Structure 1
């Protein structure tokens, strides 16, 4: 008697084999690894490395700045040095000295014409009033210009102070000469004096003596002929010649302030060596290390907590979709195998971003655009799910804006973030319906184009875009899309083989009729080949009605009976109305031949290295169903011979295992339905419904669905889908009720 492989031990092994894939403890461990992955990916940017350093000790290694900061102390020193380099500013004050001279001559002319005043009194008046005229003139000038924008108050004060210090003392004998001057002489002296004063005060004078030394030369060269006139004019001219260039304290202070403001800050750039190995830690260096938050003794753990919380949020975003979006559909929940693959994809994509960020330099400031950010989103979409790919695209956008942020002036780099969003979402939308490997390259080109346009737009937004850097950025971004496509094409087989996953691309490739096994099926067993195609149509529609993988059911159906190619003529669809070899065989031998095709098919598929889900469908589509025909034939033969049948029902059952997935169970149902309907000459709708219902009920009663997750509601949906597909496929052979049966009977009159 053959051993039933689907017995208790086989079921236990199956549950043990599948147990780790649904293990809750392992699921939490994988989620914890996601948190660690996100944390360490971002911690290098958000949390600088700290060192155990004390003041006065020597550094054991070079310490580089983890991010850019402004050296406040050095900046202040640079500003003070810039302020000290500002020379004192001197401003010109236009005193109009010739006006003062006119007032003096007017007073002399007025006083000389007064005959009531003696000459001695006039001398006393000149001795007293002429110097006073100078002071009053200066006071009136200060008063007239105070509060105006022409001269500052400090400049006027400085002017009054300096002019007072440099006032000229008129010799005593000059006052004795003035009362003797006639009006005609005063007029001539006034003209000459004005010319001399105007000429000498036209130049800037910080010292009045500089101009006064030139007075005698100019007066002697004038038209005055009398010595008395010349001497008097010289003294009066020297009196009114005053300094006109003064130290401007306010302007000097403003210039120093401007110099400080224009002094660029002293910046410690990211990567600059702050302390060299063996260098003593001075107070200045210690302060820089404190500013850079590089000392362990002053470490705060708030940044670490923030990165940890952000990592948990990222992990919850993945878990929320992977485990909670379809709680009523168990088939949509990710197994631990898929979680592990997702973790590997995230780790690989993050590693690629870090490697590109590591190559950043001043010569290549925009090499970050070369990072294949869309790699992870594209792999997730192809291997798992489009919607999970969109969630991953969002997370990769956030990671790219952190990992590629080399400037460190913000937590997230907007430039890389928006470009990462553009390429990641473009990749998902361009690849989610891919049916050929060439579609990956097309998606890569789409990533290149949309990414390049985004980079160009960001570059043009800048106030003064650098053309060379803009071309460099666009070039890196275009290369990134092509690099993404190459990496995806190279990594797809690795993930498919390592994790036993079947992508839609792989399934479409396997459905090619030129595959050696399908060509063998077509040439050696054309009836089975046609039967497999029909089963594929039925199972695909049924699978899609319950959310299972319709493409896997179709392709699995193409290969599910490939084992029949070993003994094609023992299967009725290949006999073409000829002799049936089972008529000459013992029932047990016939049953063994029929039963063997499932195991033979699985072995042939394994030999041709077809993926395990396809092999499972071939091995499990009959489950442990019972070959009633040959068992009853054996019982009848034993009865005719008058002996008791030596076989039991178990000897006429398929060895299994039972269907472990929805897809294997659906292909098994479709296989039976297609064979049963094909055996009818002109089936009716009622017959089709009855056959489908009976096949499903028999398998349900035989516990064939106990090890897969099909529900009774899903079985009803499968039955409806199979009925609709069969009616559409065998339309010309189906007998419908006569039209007259639908007409109401005439009433009897």
Structure 2
């Protein structure tokens, strides 16, 4: 690359580096989106806070911004549930029948001892029998404690109750005990065991109740001796104790469980917490404090959570745009600013519908033209970006249009926003006429209404028939409003941001455009050439994924500058002498290269978009005018003078192609002119010529400033070959056609 080319390229690059390509500006725009999301969602997700003091009167009515737990009412309900829990008793298998048997065995052994007098035996029984009863209980308690079967509190309760309910044997019973023989005691054992076992087999809380049944059982027993019956009766009463005891631990646990199972009492969203003019008591103050509605005790966690949500939405959008082109951002800052403005308009339309909403009329939210954002992004930027933005609009709609209590998101409005946005994208992504936008609006109406009807049927506890009809009607009206707004806003965005949408391109391709009429009437040869270049460049651009429609329309205007001096261009020199034959080559060079600059000026005058002007300015790049350079050299040699010019003086001023579209139009322009110059082109000639043109431009570094790859250049060359053969089919001589005349001459 020469120094002049390098300086030219640098000068153009310096022009393009401004706020539109500034990285800090780009991140400022994304920060703006974060703030936009935060402001949009704050009023719905963050409650208003009040500066209130105890003992003052409230200046306004304070309602619950969301479903709030009522701690006082919940605590009261928990205590009521705990009080409803009855004391819990545990049954302990004491095996009291073993005690009465052991007592009878002790009496038998002592009665058989003749060394002990009757009076001493009575004294021993008076002291030992109650003690044995106490020791029996204590031994059971100690064994159970060692085994870890029961809690200490329960075992202590057993000792306490048995001591309180201890039975005292009458004095006369102790006197009768020494009279019993071994035979008597042998008969008494099974009877006493049966009675105690039978009565303690039931649950006993109060031992006296069970003891009252002993006399009846003894009287119906097999014992016939009066003394034996009396002793069995008293010993059985002594052995019977309570076996069902109050379990404090289980009772407390049950009451704790009852408190935990008690449902939280809530103050519903919209319920009045403090009426206007009401005195602020300590109870009301604590309620507002617990609800986070006081300014003196700010809870920053909701703000942090909302800010993180907004950052997530904006960061996701940033990453999506970055990944759409791994090497660099696909969009410049002007387009990102337009994207931010689309978000502002869409969110604003949601808020207008939200203001009209109420708890009684939530269906008005379907009037919001939520699909407007996705449709504008599709038309002005990119279809894949529109899908991602549609998801964000769905999240925003589910919050902004939500009127339900205790919910952050309303699924119905979020789903509705996704449906209408996706329908709008699919309907208009290939729009080439304004009427297509109206058709897209009709489709949004139909599918939006269908989505509302479907959700109403699924929600069995939803609206009545009249509300459903209202909802469907508002959804239909919202679709029409969407179409109207999109049609109205499209020209604003196209003019303000210089966006060249497909709709605008189709309008510019209309032959009735003043510049195209001028081209057709004043330079018909150039007009025909431009149409041919448009056909060739569109096919080549679409083959490599570039904007084919932009190439076609740009080709129509790329040589508009030739209308200034039409006779100096060969395609317009029908039946006339070439004026270049009689003028200096340097002047010819100036006239030829001026058409690019003149074309840009004319397009500016008619306010054509910049991408169209760029094609006109860049389609020749800095290519070399070989013919006039060598003509000037020959004239200098004939005059015997040293040339006072260089090759650089016979180059177009540029800039070089900055986009794939400009490069493709430049190649197609050269190919069409070259093929047109051939009287009877052959397939081999066309293939060779196209390869030569592309290689010449490649060697001349004309593609250094655009992102065309070698693979794409190869695809462009093959596509142009196919297109040229299709356009000039009748003029091209194929190998078979050439061989036939040759063979006929030889035979003759």
Contact 1:67 1:407 in 2 (8 A): no
Which deviations, in whole Å up to 9, do the C-alpha atoms of 1:279-337 show, x marking residues without a partner? 54223432442354312444433333332332233223323332214436x6x822222
Please, which runs of 5 or more residues in structure 1 have no aligned partner?
Answer: 79-264, 743-749
Contact 1:323 1:334 in 2 (8 A): no
Pair 740,632 (structure 1): closer, same or farther in 2 beyond 3 Å: closer
Deviation of the 1:340 alpha carbon: 2.0
Deviation of the 1:521 alpha carbon: 1.2
Task: Say yes or no: does 1:489 pair with 2:484.
Answer: no
Aligned to 2:715: 717
Task: Say yes or no: does 1:623 pair with 2:621.
Answer: yes
Deviation of the 1:457 alpha carbon: 2.5
Distance in 2 (alpha carbons) for counterparts of 1:426 and 1:9: 47
Which deviations, in whole Å up to 9, do the C-alpha atoms of 1:87-114 show, x marking residues without a partner? xxxxxxxxxxxxxxxxxxxxxxxxxxxx
Deviation of the 1:390 alpha carbon: 1.2
Aligned to 2:449: 452
Task: Say yes or no: does 1:347 pair with 2:338.
Answer: no
Aligned to 2:274: 274
Query: 538, 552, 555: which one pairs with 1:540?
Result: 538
Q: Output aligned runs, 1:212-223, within 5 Å.
A: none
Aligned to 2:52: 53
Contact 2:532 2:672 in 1 (8 A): yes
Distance in 2 (alpha carbons) for counterparts of 1:616 and 1:463: 60
Query: 419, 422, 425: which one pairs with 1:422?
Result: 419
Aligned to 1:517: 515
Contact 1:66 1:292 in 2 (8 A): no
Please, which runs of 5 or more residues in structure 2 have no aligned partner?
Answer: 78-264, 741-748
Deviation of the 1:403 alpha carbon: 1.0
Pair 446,533 (structure 1): closer, same or farther in 2 beyond 3 Å: same
Pair 383,724 (structure 1): closer, same or farther in 2 beyond 3 Å: same
Distance in 2 (alpha carbons) for counterparts of 1:355 and 1:77: 43
The more displaced of 302-311 and 721-730 is 302-311
Q: Output aligned runs, 1:525-604, within 5 Å.
A: 525-604=523-602
Report the number of matched residues. Answer: 551
Distance in 2 (alpha carbons) for counterparts of 1:323 and 1:454: 33
SS at match of 1:732: coil
Pair 321,70 (structure 1): closer, same or farther in 2 beyond 3 Å: closer
The more displaced of 315-324 and 630-639 is 315-324
Pair 575,271 (structure 1): closer, same or farther in 2 beyond 3 Å: farther
Aligned to 2:649: 651
Distance in 2 (alpha carbons) for counterparts of 1:679 and 1:267: 87
Aligned to 1:323: 322
Contact 1:71 1:268 in 2 (8 A): no
Q: Output aligned runs, 1:623-642, within 5 Å.
A: 623-642=621-640
Task: Say yes or no: does 1:704 pair with 2:702.
Answer: yes
Deviation of the 1:72 alpha carbon: 7.8
Deviation of the 1:674 alpha carbon: 0.6
Pair 60,465 (structure 1): closer, same or farther in 2 beyond 3 Å: closer
Deviation of the 1:654 alpha carbon: 1.6
Deviation of the 1:61 alpha carbon: 5.8
Deviation of the 1:272 alpha carbon: 5.4
The more displaced of 11-20 and 680-689 is 11-20
Aligned to 1:42: 41
Pair 458,361 (structure 1): closer, same or farther in 2 beyond 3 Å: same
Contact 1:502 1:611 in 2 (8 A): yes
Query: 469, 478, 501: which one pairs with 2:467?
Result: 469
C-alpha RMSD over aligned residues: 2.9
Contact 1:400 1:420 in 2 (8 A): yes
Q: Output aligned runs, 1:60-99, within 5 Å.
A: 63-67=62-66, 69=68
Aligned to 1:211: none
Aligned to 1:257: none
Q: Output aligned runs, 1:375-394, within 5 Å.
A: 375-394=372-391
Aligned to 1:356: 353
Q: Output aligned runs, 1:672-711, within 5 Å.
A: 672-711=670-709
SS at match of 2:453: helix
Aligned to 1:503: 501
Contact 2:269 2:405 in 1 (8 A): no
Task: Say yes or no: does 1:401 pair with 2:387.
Answer: no
Q: Output aligned runs, 1:20-169, within 5 Å.
A: 20-59=19-58, 63-67=62-66, 69=68
Pair 297,667 (structure 1): closer, same or farther in 2 beyond 3 Å: same
Aligned to 1:151: none
Distance in 1 (alpha carbons) for counterparts of 2:5 and 2:47: 58
Pair 573,464 (structure 1): closer, same or farther in 2 beyond 3 Å: closer
The more displaced of 668-677 and 32-41 is 32-41
Which deviations, in whole Å up to 9, do the C-alpha atoms of 1:139-172 show, x marking residues without a partner? xxxxxxxxxxxxxxxxxxxxxxxxxxxxxxxxxx
Pair 680,409 (structure 1): closer, same or farther in 2 beyond 3 Å: same
The more displaced of 299-308 and 450-459 is 299-308
Distance in 1 (alpha carbons) for counterparts of 2:350 and 2:271: 19
Contact 2:70 2:266 in 1 (8 A): yes
